Copies of this chain bind each other. A is one copy, B any other.
Amino acid sequence: MSSNASDHPSQALATFAAELTFERIPDHVLRRAEDLMLDWLGSVLAARSARPVQAIQRFAEMMGPAEGPSEVLISRRTTSPVFAALVNAAASHYVEQDDVHNGSVFHPAAVVFAPALATAQALGASGAQLLTAVVAGYEVGIRVGEFLGRSHYRTFHTTATAGTLAAAAAVGRLLELTPAQMLHAFGSAGTQSAGVWEFLRDAADSKQLHCAHAAASGLMSAYLAKDGFTGAQHVLEGAQGLGVGMSTDADPARLVDGLGTRWTLAETSFKYHASCRHTHPAADALLQVMRREQLQQGDIARVVTHVHQGAIDVLGRVVVPTTVHQGKFSMGTVLGLIAVHGRAGLTEFDRDYLAPEVAAFRDKVMMELDREVDTAYPARWIGKVSVTTTDGRTFSGRVDEPKGDPGNTLSRAEIEDKMKRLAAYGDAATPQEAQTLCDGIWSLAAAPRVGRLLA
């Protein structure tokens, strides 16, 4: 670690973000950035008709210019960058299918892509410039999330708080901020960091607002810095900074952990099933058994899922779900959808979470605490199932990383498939448009100019 990195870690991080070039980013990281962007587009499109997202869209239409250089993906209108960022970010997280970085419990796509895309469109930036900015946003946001730590996450929604800095880094890179300007942008973004979990108790709409706020505030911070507006030099690690104010275990060393060698973007997980993450390892293990043994749902008499205590704590409360949302927290329902349809996506949940054959399968599923699985958690999310057939055979299934995690990531075909399903779910793009989006993202690195995605 350089002396700068230990003496002034937020400056080192800002300098890294400002000086990051396309050429310095490893190929696999760039390819993963493209994967994540296409995956993010699906999440945005799926939320097109969601009530809280539409409320934010209407606010943007009332307050913002009626046209501009940046695209609101769900309305197909254009406006200024800050409002496009606001609305697209609000849509990013709604269906809870966007990516997650496990270590920081931070959803980078939700706060990085919307402001980066809006700014790139406004500037006429190239695809390579956009991808570079996105990588800067991920690397900054994830490290800020890790810096803020577990104590922060108890009260604060890290995607909202670290999100302002992630957005500022991405937009700042597109604006070609100097390292000094980038640090000013961090100061302005950090002093707008906000978002508490209290809304969960009431199932209120704040999650959409959190993403929108982070994206818009971070974008504003970067634009202001470009214009000479100054910010705190140590907004993260200073004596009256975010670490002191919003955490009790903030660790400045995390801000610079492996800068330039460790690519946290590539550690980011895709969400594969549309259910609570605690159900994913067992769902994957069941799918493995059914495919390997060529079982149909009717062949199965009983499934025992061997799980960590956290899964029992979170999922144990739902026996018979009464809402789609509860269905996503019912291990039996999730495994029932997997057994019947081979997947548990948004469409399957909406349509079939109470379908007779799914409900019948649900009652065959139980959870048992497993010592090995529980010990490995949360560093590893191991999936183990024991499947007993109606004719008395028993099969074991095991996955060491749930589908979507970096060691078991999605193929491009799977990412395309997920995106197309999400776009269709939101009735937000025709199949042909969805295919055009895929092709556009896969060739983004070579695009001389980021144009409209859905013209």
> Which A residues form the contact surface with B (CB < 8 A)?
51-52, 55-56, 58-59, 62-66, 80-83, 154-156, 160, 184, 187-188, 190-202, 204-206, 209-210, 213, 217, 220, 223-224, 227-235, 238-242, 244-246
Contact = CB atoms under 8 A, between A and B. Distances in A.
Given A51-B228, A63-B65, A205-B229, 12 more contacts: A62-B80, A63-B64, A155-B241, A188-B205, A192-B194, A193-B194, A194-B194, A196-B241, A196-B245, A198-B239, A202-B230, A209-B229
B209 A240 contact: no
A233 to B, nearest CB: 5
| Copies assembled | 2
A108 B428 CA distance: 44
B201 A187 contact: no
Nearest to A238: B198
Contacts of A63: 64-65, 80-83, 223
A223 B55 CA distance: 9
A206 B194 CA distance: 15
Contacts of A199: 187, 191, 231-232, 235
A55 to B, nearest CB: 4
A156 B65 CA distance: 33
A83 B228 CA distance: 20
B244 A155 contact: yes
B196 A191 contact: yes
Contacts of A229: 52, 55-56, 205, 209
B191 A195 contact: yes
A414 B187 CA distance: 38
B192 A242 contact: no
B223 A209 contact: no
Contact of A241 (B160, B198, B220, B233): B198
Contacts of A83: 63
B204 A192 contact: no
A151 to B, nearest CB: 10
A30 B59 CA distance: 31
B198 A213 contact: no
Nearest to A81: B63
Nearest to A80: B63
A240 B155 contact: yes
A224 B241 contact: no
28 contacts: A55-B227, A59-B220, A59-B224, A63-B64, A63-B65, A63-B83, A65-B66, A155-B241, A187-B199, A187-B204, A188-B205, A191-B194, A191-B196, A191-B206, A191-B209, A192-B194, A192-B213, A194-B194, A196-B232, A198-B235, A201-B232, A201-B234, A201-B238, A202-B232, A204-B230, A209-B229, A245-B246, A246-B246
